[in-house]
Chain A
Amino acid sequence: MFKDLDPLLHNQLRLSIMSLLMNVESAEFNFLLEQTKATKGNISVQISKLKDSGYIEVKKTFRKNYPLTTCSITQEGIQAFENYVQAIAGYLNPDK
């Protein structure tokens, strides 16, 4: 009946990051920070978790001597996000 919700995605901040990355090719750390209004520390932790699970790809480069972190979603991440949305739909419309 009820599918288990992916615990990695069933978290407000991680889900926010994944939703943002679903729609763009890549986004800088600061963009994710602005959009989610989370704290730097919290968002860093969540990005690492998503990265370790293979849902997102993180590239660290430099711009004018400042570190620049760019994130993008992976195929695995897209699949996980789609599964999650389907599972949520199952919860909201249990009859279907």
Chain B
Amino acid sequence: MKTSTMETKFTEQQSLQVIQEMIENTKAKFRDNGFFYLLWGWLVLIASLSQFTLMNIGFEYAWLPWPVMMMGGGIASGIAGYRLGKESKVKTFFDTAILSLWLAFTITLFIILIAAGAGRISWNMANVLIIALYGLATYISGSMMKFKPLIFGGIFSWMVAVVGLFLPPVYSLPLVSVSIIVAYLIPGYMLKSRAKTNGYV
């Protein structure tokens, strides 16, 4: 097809073909390489396990790993997110939805943290609610990407949260560790290997 004759010789069949091709090109290709799941998965796992260990050896400031890890994670995510946003030449509805989801997640997370910090709910209850909350975010992300390991991770987190409601408070940290492995780390590594096979990083 020559460009010069296109105005006149452009048939209906060709126009359908053009539409099809372009739709194919913009199909919500999810190119998640699992970076954020791995980053937060490891940070939460390390923080929860180290708090659990420090509590058991009777260290007064056993909660200290959390602010350190979370601030580090926040900064790293901020930088990575900024870079990603700058690199992408196109903004899909999918991108906007995912971004709003995790923003809403963060705001709700802060409300739970404030509630626990102000002594309105126990920290163990806060842990259980946070497990349920990241279950929600993981489940929605997984559904949007049609990625089953994340969907399963979300459902698993909800189940863990329900169990956590009825277990003695001492179990809430190990429960966080277990659910973060299933909801973040395993899907994160699966996304990473998938990204490698599909040739994007």
Query: Could you list which residues of chain A lie within 8 angstroms of chain B, going by C-beta atoms?
Result: 5, 10-13, 15-16, 19-20, 22-28, 30-31, 34-36, 42, 63, 85, 88, 91-92
Known contacts A12-B14, A42-B3, A20 near B93 by CB under 8 Å: no
Known contacts A15-B19, A20-B22, A24-B26, A92 near B12 by CB under 8 Å: yes
Partner of A11, one of B10, B22, B90: B10
Question: Which residues of B, 1-32, contact A by the 8 Å Cβ criterion?
Answer: 1, 3, 6-7, 10, 12-16, 18-19, 21-23, 25-27
B19 partner residues in chain A, CB cutoff 8 A: 15, 19, 85
Partner of A25, one of B10, B18, B93: B93
Query: Could you list which residues of chain B lie within 8 angstroms of chain A, going by C-beta atoms?
Result: 1, 3, 6-7, 10, 12-16, 18-19, 21-23, 25-27, 86, 89-93, 95-96
Looking at chain A's contact residues, the main secondary structure is: helix
Looking at chain B's contact residues, the main secondary structure is: helix
B90 partner residues in chain A, CB cutoff 8 A: 24, 26-28, 31
- A22–B25 Cα distance when bound, in Å, is 12
Known contacts A12-B1, A27-B90, A30-B89, A19 near B18 by CB under 8 Å: yes
- A23–B21 Cα distance when bound, in Å, is 12
- A85–B18 Cα distance when bound, in Å, is 12
Partner of B16, one of A23, A26, A36, A88: A88
B109 to chain A, nearest CB (A): 26
B89 partner residues in chain A, CB cutoff 8 A: 27-28, 30-31, 34
